[in-house]
Amino acid sequence: MAKVYIGIGSNIGDRQGFIRRALKLMPDYGVYVEKVSEIIETPPYGYEEQPPFLNCVAEVVTFLPPLRLLKALQDIEHRLGRVRVIRWGPRTIDLDILFYDDLVVNTPALKIPHPDMGNRLFVLKPLAEIAPNMTHPVTGKTVSEMLRELEETPQRS
């Protein structure tokens, strides 16, 4: 079984409810939740004219290969009312594969590790809570190191 870390976010409607429902649906797709970080509220990223997000990270195990896992997560998003209109726009639920074991995938459909995780406090903070020593297979940095570097970087306004 592969160990996978999934970033979860919601900023429309019952945000906590959508996160709970997504986690509850995962086993139906062969994705078994082992740990979930605390849920944190964060400002929007990218497109800023939208409500704040609730974010967390789940550690899961699965036999699904990466592209089938992506399809399963997209199906869960669809079942929970996710509509893609604006890039980084409002959404009922967002499920992103952050790490899949130490695999590196770079296709048009899927990139693992998640290419922008190093710039996202809303990903690194909850990920560091449950997997501080997970090592990025490309950079060789641990999640804790990535978080520390991001927190020490002056924020652009």
Single-letter residue type at 2: A
CB-hemisphere CA count at 13 Å for 1? Answer: 11
For 86, list phi and psi in degrees, rounded to 5.
Answer: -115, 135
Q: Is 82 a catalytic residue?
A: yes
Of 20, 91, 101, 148, which residue is the catalytic one?
91
Catalytic residue among 79, 82, 116, 120: 82
Q: Is 14 noted as a catalytic residue in this protein?
A: no
Q: Is 96 tagged catalytic?
A: yes
Q: Rg of the Cα trace of the chain?
A: 15
Buried b (16+ CB within 10 A) or exposed e, 109-123: eeebbbeebbebbbb
Catalytic residue among 96, 101, 102, 120: 96
Annotation says 101 is catalytic? no
Catalytic amino acids? 82, 91, 94, 96
